[in-house]
């Protein structure tokens, strides 16, 4: 199961740099995590991304269009 980070970031209308800043990560990390087939990120990283995107960590593995999440 792959992280749907790019879909979530676009759903929240954030740039890679914006998300990196909100999550306390580097932009190259966001770029790498958005590439298909990237290895599974550390659970702490997923939690930071979920918090920055205003959702639960498990939601990041599903397309935001398939969830009942509303835009932040």
The residues, ordered by sequence, that sit 6+ positions from 10 with a Cβ below 8 Å of its Cβ are none
Domain count, the chain: 1
Q: Is residue 72 part of a domain?
A: no
Q: Quote the pLDDT of residue 58.
A: 94
Q: Quote the pLDDT of residue 60.
A: 95
Q: Is residue 71 part of a domain?
A: no
Domain that holds residue 55: 5-66
Output the domain CATH number for residue 10: 1.10.260.40
Q: Is residue 36 part of a domain?
A: yes
> pTM for the complete prediction?
0.88
Per-residue pLDDT tens for 22-55? 999 999 999 999 998 888 899 999 999 999 999 9
Tokens representing 64 are 């935001």
Asked whether the beta carbons of 64 and 11 are under 8 A apart, the reply is yes
């Amino acid at each position: 199961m792959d992280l749907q980070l790019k879909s979530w970031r676009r759903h929240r209308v954030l740039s890679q740099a914006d998300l990196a800043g909100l999550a306390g990560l580097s932009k190259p990390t966001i770029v790498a995590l958005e590439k298909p087939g990237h290895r599974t990120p550390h659970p702490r990283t997923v939690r930071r991304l979920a918090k920055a995107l205003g959702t639960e960590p498990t939601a990041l593995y599903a397309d935001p269009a398939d969830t009942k999440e509303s835009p932040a």
